[in-house]
Amino acid sequence: MNNKIPVITIDGPSGAGKSTLCNIIANKLNWHVLESGMIYRLLAILILHKNVPIIEKNIIFFLKDLDFSLFKKRNVSHILQLQIVGETASKLATFAEIRQMLLYKQRCFRKLPGLIAEGRDMGTIVFPDAIIKFFLKANLETRVCRRINQFKTIGLSTNYKKLFEQLKIRDERDQNRLISPLYPSKDAIILDSTNMTLSEVIAYSMTEIKKQSLHDIKI
């Protein structure tokens, strides 16, 4: 791990707004972006496409075919956001060997001038030496509404009650899995965005970044 390259991490549950905040901060700092959930979603798409049973030893075989260039292809954007893809990705994340194999791939995103990484264990496992760690959260009802609005922007529709139960189950799985469970690191900045607008979340985050007074960060 190259400690000379600064990293800012954003962890939190599904629907908290991590991806949006991650990309906005990265754009302001002109840093690279790692949306770790997309790595698992790409693997999930591959598994679903090939009808591979979700058994760890079977899935490991397909890891070598994980093509990151898919991130840049618009024709998979809708597929990446499908609920079945998200649910499959969440299940894949419970396998220890798969997480270990993807750990190296995630750390390869660390390049100059810096990296903004979002996920579930970016600040606790993947980049424990991050210069700033955010833990972004919001209550379940708020996250469900945000996810529904996100789906609408890409032409997808879903039922509130169904999505509520799905996110609730995913929260429980993320928090209770034995490998890399979701929890804030001891040095994380806890940010509850339940009653905050996106502009307020961005402003708060950038203020915290500026407080660091790091020569590596130029705003």
Residues annotated in a binding site for ATP: 12-20
- The residue among 14, 4, 2 whose CA lies nearest residue 119 is 14
For 162-202, give the secondary structure using H, E and C.
HHHHHHHHHHHHHHHCCCCCCCCCCCCEEEECCCCCHHHHH
Answer for the pair 36, 156: CB distance below 8 angstroms, yes or no.
no
Answer for the pair 86, 41: CB distance below 8 angstroms, yes or no.
yes
Residue type, 204: Y
- How far does CA 54 lie from the centroid of its chain? 21
**Coil, helix or strand for 14?**
coil
Residue ranges for the binding site?
12-20
Residue type, 167: L
Find residue 9's DSSP bridge partners. Answer: 117, 133
User: Helices (H), strands (E): how many in the chain?
Assistant: 9, 5
- How far does CA 137 lie from the centroid of its chain? 13
